Structure 1
Amino acid sequence: MGGTDDNSNVRSVKMVFVTVGTTCFDALVEAVDTQEVKEELLKKGYTHLLIQMGRGSYFPKKSAGGSGCLAVNYFTFSSSIADNLKSASLVISHAGSGSIFETLRLGKPLIVVVNEDLMDNHQSELAEELAERKHLFCAYPQTLRSTIVIMNVDALLPYPPADAKPVAKLINRFLGFPDD
Structure 2
Amino acid sequence: MATKKVFVTVGTTKFDELINTVTTPEVLKALSNRGYNHLILQIGNSSLKPDSSPRDGFQQIEYFNLSPSIGEQMSSADLVISHAGAGSCLEALEARKPLVVVTNELLMDNHQLELAEQLFHDGYLYYCNCSTLSNLIEDMDLTKLKLFTGDRSHKIVEFIDRVMGF
TM over 0.5: yes
Q: 1:22 is matched with which residue?
A: 12
For 1:85, the equivalent position in structure 2 comes to 74
Provide the C-alpha distance between the structure 1 equivalents of 2:123 and 2:139, rounded to a whole number of angstroms: 14
SS of equivalent to 2:78: strand
Root-mean-square deviation (CA, aligned residues, Å) is: 2.0
The DSSP-based 3-state class of the residue aligned with 1:161 is: coil
SS at match of 1:18: strand
Q: Is the 8 Å Cα contact of residues 30 and 58 (structure 1) preserved in structure 2? A: no
Q: 1:70 to 1:57 in 2, by over 3 A?
A: same
Preserved CA contact (<8 Å) 2:54 2:61: yes
What does the per-residue CA deviation read over 1:111-153, in whole Å, with 9 as the maximum and x for residues that have no partner?
Answer: 0000111111101001011112221000101111001000111
Find the structure with the greater CA-based Rg. 1
Output the amino acid matched with 2:29. Answer: E
Q: Partner of 2:146 in structure 1? A: 157
Unaligned 5+ residue runs, structure 1?
Answer: 1-10
Task: Spell out structure 1 runs of 4+ moving beyond 4 A.
Answer: 172-177
1:112 aligns to what SS in structure 2? strand
Please report how far the alpha carbon of residue 169 of structure 1 lies from its aligned counterpart in structure 2 after TM superposition: 5.3
Q: Which amino acid aligns with 2:128?
A: A
The residue that corresponds to 1:3 in the other structure is none
Hey, what's the Cα distance between the residues in 2 that align with 1:139 and 1:27?
A: 13
Structure 1, residues 46-75: CA drift from partner, whole Å, max 9, x if none? 01000000112332110246x943421111
The aligned residue for residue 41 of structure 2 is 51
**Partner secondary structure for residue 151 of structure 2:** helix
* Alpha-carbon shift at residue 164 of structure 1 (Å): 1.5
CA contact (8 A) 1:109 1:136 kept: yes
CA deviation string 1:54-97 (max 9, x = no partner): 112332110246x9434211110111100000000000000011
Q: Distance in 2 between matches of 1:56 and 1:144?
A: 21
SS of 1:123 mapped into structure 2: helix
Segments of 5+ residues of structure 2 without an aligned counterpart are: none
CA distance in 2, matches of 1:157, 1:36: 28
Q: Give me the identity figure in percent.
A: 44
Equivalent in 61, 65, 70 of residue 72 of structure 1: 61
